[in-house]
Chain A
Amino acid sequence: MAALIDLIAQPLSHPFMVRGLVAALLVGVVCAILGTYVVLRGMAFLGDALAHSILPGVAVGYLIGGGARGPLFWWAMGTGVIAALGIGAISRRGEIKEDTAIGVIFAGMLALGVALISTARSYSVDLAHFLFGDVLGVATRDLVLTGVFGALVLLIVFAFYKEFLVLSFDPILAATLRLPTRFFHYLLLVMLAVTVVISLQTVGVALMVAMLVTPGATALLLTRRLPAMMAVSAGIGALSAIAGLYLSYYANVASGAAIVLVATALFGLAFLLAPGRGVLARKVTERAHPPH
């Protein structure tokens, strides 16, 4: 028992681990809750694109600031909101299919970001941080910003719960109820951008989409109503964050990757074992009622 407590407590003797853990928890929960809408509305690709589109903004801030960490958050936030509004505008016009348009733009933005960062001297280390996160380098100031903006996103999810529910389940109903559908569409995209920005340091651009969709997808297999799905998703996000960080500490693997691997493993378990809807449950039902 004492050994177990020691196992849990020992990493917490490093302040950077404590800050990392708090950051990962905050990000894990916010991503998982907003992620339920990403899963239900099929916005995974869009979330991925948004994350990649932020890179050039971060790169410009990085070059101008000479590597200073402080202003980077605001550069990322500005780029993220502009990218969200831009993607929203693209998805309304019909000349090129939406996913094609998003693909073209986000690959281009990513390339621009990489090109800009590559002009700096310590390019490979910094690029790796942007792509895969650097949760152990989180400063107290970053934690405050993450907390404030994360709380704001969750507040909006809660306040407009019934509107987002109607809009996601039946857009025609939302239109006939005269809800401001376009406003809510853009609002959701901006919330997504803010969430991506606060998660950037924890998991990085490349693994962002996993934080958004994996806990939500797992929760969808395990629950029957949206409030329960959000709660279970948040739990899975938190668990993945904590277990992932300990895994990264003891197994000495990259922390963002460890968090995502834990979340993926939990999804795999649910996919196989979920009561009623998992692979195993369906096999059992099939054996009891063989198809004719």
Chain B
Amino acid sequence: MPVERRRFIKLSALSAGAFTIPFIVSCNNKAFNPAMAQPLFLSGIFDAKTMKTTGEAYAKQYPAEDSRNKLIDLLSENSGISQATDAATVHSYYAKKTTADFEALKTVIVNGWVLAVTEARQCALFSLTQK
């Protein structure tokens, strides 16, 4: 879906809660650091709607990952990131992981976008937090 006029998601706005990503979760849902659902590069070129639809499309394409807890597990794996980790550190970690994905050709095509698996999962997590 082409986006005619993008209103880029500013990370500062995300961190300030412009797009609500809850810390408080139900007993069935794991808690996670909200910065995990903020793909750094894509935040510069996607608006919230595009990020959400891309995340939804990824989840549909990979139904085994269509779960908040599953995505949190996959994104957190060996990351050392906790809810207390500051946003800049989280963004930096996932930016590096995204680059590493591209280098290892761990990419997916979602709604036509050629994305690193990590950032696609971040989009999916973002979309689940928007429901």
Whether A and B are associated in the same complex: the answer reads no
Residues of B within 8 A of A (CB): none
